[in-house]
Structure 1
Amino acid sequence: MSATEELAGRLRGTVLPAVLTPMDASGAVDFAALRRYAERMAAERIGGVAVWAHTGRGLHLAEADRRRVLEVWRDAVDLPVVAGAGVPRALRGAPLDEAEDAAVAMAARAAELGADAVMVYPVARHHALPDGEERAARLHERVAEASGLPVLGFLLHGEAGGYPYAPGLVRRLLEQPATAGIKIATLDRAVDCQDALRAAEGTGALLVTGEDRMFGPSLMWGADTALVGIAAARAGLTGAVLDAWTAGDAAGFLRASGRLDRFAEATFLAPIEGYVQRMLWAAVWEGAIPEEAAFDPYGPPLPDAERRAVVACLERLAKEDGAAA
């Protein structure tokens, strides 16, 4: 069995939180808070964690901070660690070849630091190029060659800097030996999500949902694993949906999916980039991250009313849990 097949077997049917990166008001990473958060997350029933992902602002972090973030998670969890690999924010305006080289270098660095797999961010500029599909496929090949790790392709919605992969590109990526699966995060574009899942049917690859706002439906459409930002604060709530679906518990799936949807409504809404701050607020409410380390310097400013809405949702869910106990 290859390393790619072994990893797919370990991850299938599990939840991988796209974990947060605690920061203070100045934007500095709070590594003491990160370690406590990582230790708490390690106690959850999860299949692994995704670091340097969009939720953790991986492409915004300085290289030294990225290194320390991955080291903390590698020490804290005895589970697969998937690291994002893409174009750092500082190089978004660089020539395309240089940007692609930076993504490959990030993947190689993740391997050196002990990551078990890499998730390749889409390069948005590929979308408009006549040879964009060729360049995207080659980027994934280069990442696999440089890192020596299993690879996840990553369909990321445009609001987060990505673009929808055409079904032909999905199939092409899944033909590469190092590709363990495809992660789909289209936000609210049901057709794009369905098209990607249909393109991957029958390949044996991991079909990973990143659909925080379409989580339950994406499982019904064929996803079998989850790598989502919504699990960064509510891993148990997210896992309950996947577990019920996998077990064929229709009634349990409806209940769990409805509860997760209510939390998603309070956290994944316009402006969508505000979801990171909303998840940080949720993590504070849960006691996973301290107030002084719950700042997202890269998202839009949000009114206090949004925090109150997040907290009110969490309190209602907790009250229901108490009533059901």
Structure 2
Amino acid sequence: MTATEDLVRRLRGTVLPAVATPMDAAGVVDTAALRGYAERIAAEPIGGVAVWAHTGRGLYLSEEDRRRVLAVWRETVGRPVVAGVGVPRGAGVVDLAGAVDATVAMAVAAAEGGADAVMVYPLAQLDGDDDAAVELHERVAAVSGLPVVGFFLHGEAGGYPYPPRLVERLLALPSAVGVKLATLDRAMACQDAVRAAGGSGRLVITGEDRMFGPSLMWGADTALVGIAAARVPLTLAVLDSWRAGEHGRFVRASARLDRFAEATFLAPIEGYVQRMLWAAVWEGLIPEQAAHDPYGPDLPAAERRAVVACLEALAEEDARAAGTGVVDAREPGVHRDGDDAPALA
């Protein structure tokens, strides 16, 4: 069995949180907060984690910060670590050749840091050139020595839609672990990509936070999602109940996850990183001072109140179902009242 085949076997049917990166308002990574966060996430029955992904602002981090982030997760999680690789912001890359070189260099750094696979950010310059897209993935795998995940990313996050024929070609590569679908709200594009991936034997990975349940029904078999940066148990409940054929439990869990997604994945979509950090504070995963996204848009305080209100409502429902009174899993000292929650930049 090759390393790629073994990784496919280990990851199929699991959740890989696309983890956040705790940092202050100036973008300084809080290593202590990161380690505590990693320990909490690693305690869940996940299949692995994805670092340097969009949720973790991997393309915005300095090379040294990426190295430290990967090292903490590598030391802590004890399961496969997938690293997103692409063109770092501020790299000064203007042409396609430079973009490819930067992506490959980031993949090599991931391999040196102990990543088990890389997830290749799409290069918008390759839209319409399937041959060049395949060559990019082949070169990343050949130079880094790591298995690769293709990343079908929506345009709002800098990607472009992979046509079904490209999905088929990418999954035919010996180094291909699978393809991650993050089409945002494009149901037909997601369905077409899932169909194209069917029968490949590789992973069909949903990154569809707003279409999580439907993407599983369409054929996705694994999850790599930003929504699990804070809501790991609920994400697991949806995937596990679907795979177990417990359709009543699946419908209930999916409806609950959808409510949280509605409060966090909305316009401006780049604001979802900050909203997930707010949720992580509420969950007690990240301290307030390390829950900043300096690279996203400024969000009004009302948006934080909406996130908190959703989380409070879900917790109250859990408590009523358990018959034990109010459940609050957050760390002591965190505000319970969403109106009191301070706004973050």
Q: Which bracket does the TM-score occupy, shorter chain normalised?
A: over 0.9
Say yes or no: does 1:253 pair with 2:255.
no
Q: Letter of the aligned partner of 1:174 in structure 2?
A: L
Structure 1 partner of 2:119: 119
Q: Letter of the aligned partner of 2:17 in structure 1?
A: P
Structure 2: distance between partners of 1:295 and 1:200: 37
Say yes or no: does 1:157 pair with 2:133.
no
- Secondary structure of the 2:90 match is helix
- Following TM superposition, by how much is the alpha carbon of 1:216 offset from its aligned partner in structure 2, in angstroms? 0.2
Q: Deviations over 1:203-227 (max 9, x none)?
A: 1110000000000000000000000
Contact kept in structure 2, 1:92 and 1:99, CA below 8 Å: no
Contact kept in structure 2, 1:84 and 1:121, CA below 8 Å: yes
- Aligned partner of 2:274 among 258, 277, 283: 277
Identity %: 73
Structure 1: distance between partners of 2:92 and 2:191: 29
- Following TM superposition, by how much is the alpha carbon of 1:126 offset from its aligned partner in structure 2, in angstroms? 1.0
- Following TM superposition, by how much is the alpha carbon of 1:148 offset from its aligned partner in structure 2, in angstroms? 1.0
For residues 322 and 51 of structure 1, do their structure 2 counterparts lie closer, same or farther at Cα, with a shift above 3 Å needed? same
Q: Which runs of 4+ in 1 moved over 3 A?
A: none
Say yes or no: does 1:242 pair with 2:242.
no
Structure 1 partner of 2:222: 225
Structure 2: distance between partners of 1:209 and 1:25: 31
Structure 1: distance between partners of 2:296 and 2:105: 26
Structure 1: distance between partners of 2:216 and 2:192: 14
Structure 2: distance between partners of 1:8 and 1:324: 37
Q: Letter of the aligned partner of 2:20 in structure 1?
A: L
Q: Letter of the aligned partner of 2:26 in structure 1?
A: S
Q: Letter of the aligned partner of 2:76 in structure 1?
A: A
Structure 2: distance between partners of 1:203 and 1:170: 10
- Secondary structure of the 1:82 match is strand
Structure 1 partner of 2:174: 177
For residues 189 and 92 of structure 1, do their structure 2 counterparts lie closer, same or farther at Cα, with a shift above 3 Å needed? farther
Structure 2: distance between partners of 1:59 and 1:282: 22
**CA RMSD, Structure 1 to Structure 2 (Å):** 0.8
- Following TM superposition, by how much is the alpha carbon of 1:91 offset from its aligned partner in structure 2, in angstroms? 3.0
Q: Deviations over 1:54-105 (max 9, x none)?
A: 0000001110100000000001110000000111111365221011101001
Q: Deviations over 1:162-184 (max 9, x none)?
A: 00101111111011100010000
Structure 1 partner of 2:307: 310
Say yes or no: does 1:2 pair with 2:2.
yes
**Aligned ranges 1:133-152 → 2 under 5 Å:** 133-152=130-149
User: RCO greater where, 1 or 2, for CA within 8 Å and sep 6 or more?
Assistant: 1
Contact kept in structure 2, 1:233 and 1:283, CA below 8 Å: yes
Say yes or no: does 1:85 pair with 2:81.
no
Structure 2: distance between partners of 1:89 and 1:159: 16
Q: Letter of the aligned partner of 1:80 in structure 2?
A: P
- Following TM superposition, by how much is the alpha carbon of 1:161 offset from its aligned partner in structure 2, in angstroms? 0.4
Structure 1: distance between partners of 2:72 and 2:116: 14
- Following TM superposition, by how much is the alpha carbon of 1:15 offset from its aligned partner in structure 2, in angstroms? 0.3
Relative to structure 2, which stretch is displaced further, 150-159 or 83-92?
83-92
Structure 2: distance between partners of 1:111 and 1:316: 42
Structure 1: distance between partners of 2:84 and 2:26: 24
Corresponding pairs, count = 322
Structure 2: distance between partners of 1:151 and 1:25: 33
Q: Letter of the aligned partner of 2:301 in structure 1?
A: D
- Secondary structure of the 2:21 match is coil
TM-score after normalising by structure 1: 0.98
Q: Letter of the aligned partner of 1:295 in structure 2?
A: H
- Secondary structure of the 1:119 match is strand
Q: Deviations over 1:11-32 (max 9, x none)?
A: 0000000000011011111111
Q: Letter of the aligned partner of 1:14 in structure 2?
A: T
Structure 1 partner of 2:95: 95
Q: Which structure 2 residue ranges, 5 or more long, are not aligned?
A: 323-345
- Secondary structure of the 1:50 match is strand
Q: Deviations over 1:126-184 (max 9, x none)?
A: 115xxx21111000000100111111000000000000101111111011100010000
- Following TM superposition, by how much is the alpha carbon of 1:239 offset from its aligned partner in structure 2, in angstroms? 0.5
Q: Which structure 1 residue ranges, 5 or more long, are not aligned?
A: none
Structure 1 partner of 2:342: none
Say yes or no: does 1:192 pair with 2:189.
yes
- Following TM superposition, by how much is the alpha carbon of 1:45 offset from its aligned partner in structure 2, in angstroms? 1.4
- Secondary structure of the 1:84 match is strand
Structure 1 partner of 2:64: 64
Structure 2: distance between partners of 1:172 and 1:165: 11
Q: Deviations over 1:216-257 (max 9, x none)?
A: 000000000000000000011101000000000110000000
Structure 1 partner of 2:104: 104
